[in-house]
Structure 1
């Protein structure tokens, strides 16, 4: 089944509201009495309430190839999974897995270390399979009746260290500031990508504390020497990024010190991050962007299998000047095909 996840809009409210009640009365009714199911379904009659949820929460919908909403999920800013429902005709088709992967990826991108939820009897096996642990069985009020559900919790993986043939990709540390300044202060590195050269070791240390503190930002460390010589990262739609992305997509950014240009180290690191994006984070597509004239960056994308998508002229860079930016993209299916070919 072709599933796409995106942020919900107010135009989706009626379809969300209908799916909520329909799922309860056709799926959850297998585990709840008709009276309980009807009481629970009646909670969805408040249209204003759905509009507020769509506006205030991280609210995503899953759509099929025809654009029909086949599921939705909503998460609060502190990692509480408030809703997740899948259309009665799409049970067991991977919709729930796609929704949960997207909201968990969103949580990681916000630095959230655990997800909690109150899970129905019907959904209990699915959440257990996805690594959630029952804290307690409880009775929770629907509208008038109290229904059985389960308080569940999952610790998210936050400290990731990746490895390639020549590199270790790990979180930046403050004691990396000297090495970072050594390479990020060169005038040929930052400006072509839209950021200013670092001006001091303390400037580099502040970047590590702030910009490089993002959950999926990694120091590119040479195995041979243990020295960080560049940086790579996965950026999500609700954080620092350049591409116009949907939920379940991300953008990869990268740079490496001038002495290591032309050695294939960044393509090696980007290939590793593509595996992270598609195999671990279950993303549907990954973007890369480069400014006009940055041939080295474009070549990295081509080596890693990205395909040209579109160009955006007259775009302001972080340095404040107007530039033309080109975007390349890779879908999960394209990545799988590329991995299959390389494995032969």
Structure 2
């Protein structure tokens, strides 16, 4: 499952409209070669909530113990169909069950509007250096 989710992540990043992130930025964000072992360990440490269709993963989201949303991705073929909303709603219910008081995320330019609709507020704009390429994302938070 970890390799399938890793591939989904890479497809999602690489499919972002070039007017939002350039090809160079996307390649820095989702760099190759893919280290599947590292990703498997990442998913083992923080198991994702997965949306599946006909038994195949089409999206996933992760929630760390401190309320950090580390990963939130939907396969490009299934975007804009409510899957991320479904995943987020499930995650927020889980956060309440865990009695978390706050959620936070580093959202991409693509994800920022989605998280704003969920009630998150931008706390800072970040410039992340990946292999000499500067990527912009936003630290966002929400009190539950």
TM-score by length of 2: 0.92
| Residues 70-114 of structure 1: per-residue CA shift (max 9 Å, x gap) | 111112111100000111111111110111111111111111111
| Residues 207-235 of structure 1: per-residue CA shift (max 9 Å, x gap) | xxxxxxxxxxxxxxxxxxxxxxxxxxxxx
Are 2:70 and 1:82 equivalent residues in the alignment?
yes
Q: Structure 1 residues 28 and 53 mapped into 2: Cα distance closer, same or farther (>3 Å)? A: farther
Select the residue among 103, 115, 127 that pairs with 2:91.
Answer: 103
1:44 is displaced (CA, Å) by: 7.8
Which consecutive aligned stretches of 4+ in structure 1 deviate over 3 angstroms post-superposition? 141-144
How far, CA to CA, are the matches of 1:59 and 1:44 in structure 2? 22
Query: Do 2:3 and 2:40's aligned partners in 1 also have CA atoms closer than 8 Å?
Result: no
TM-score by length of 1: 0.40
Query: How many correspondences in the alignment?
Result: 144
Report the 3-state secondary structure (helix = DSSP H, G, I; strand = E; otherwise coil) of the residue aligned with 1:122.
coil
Select the residue among 12, 21, 36 that pairs with 1:47.
Answer: 36
Report the 3-state secondary structure (helix = DSSP H, G, I; strand = E; otherwise coil) of the residue aligned with 1:45.
coil
1:144 is displaced (CA, Å) by: 4.5
1:146 is displaced (CA, Å) by: 2.6
Report the 3-state secondary structure (helix = DSSP H, G, I; strand = E; otherwise coil) of the residue aligned with 1:49.
helix
In structure 2, the residue matched to 1:150 is 138
In structure 2, the residue matched to 1:112 is 100
Superposed CA RMSD: 1.6
1:28 is displaced (CA, Å) by: 5.3
Gaps of 5+ in 2: none
In structure 2, the residue matched to 1:20 is 9
Report which of the two structures shows the higher radius of gyration computed on alpha carbons: 1
Report the 3-state secondary structure (helix = DSSP H, G, I; strand = E; otherwise coil) of the residue aligned with 2:31.
helix
Gaps of 5+ in 1: 1-11, 157-344
1:42 is displaced (CA, Å) by: 1.2
1:57 is displaced (CA, Å) by: 1.0
Q: Structure 1 residues 43 and 29 mapped into 2: Cα distance closer, same or farther (>3 Å)? A: farther
Select the residue among 21, 25, 50 that pairs with 1:36.
Answer: 25
How far, CA to CA, are the matches of 2:118 and 2:89 in structure 1? 10
In structure 1, the residue matched to 2:48 is 59
1:27 is displaced (CA, Å) by: 2.2
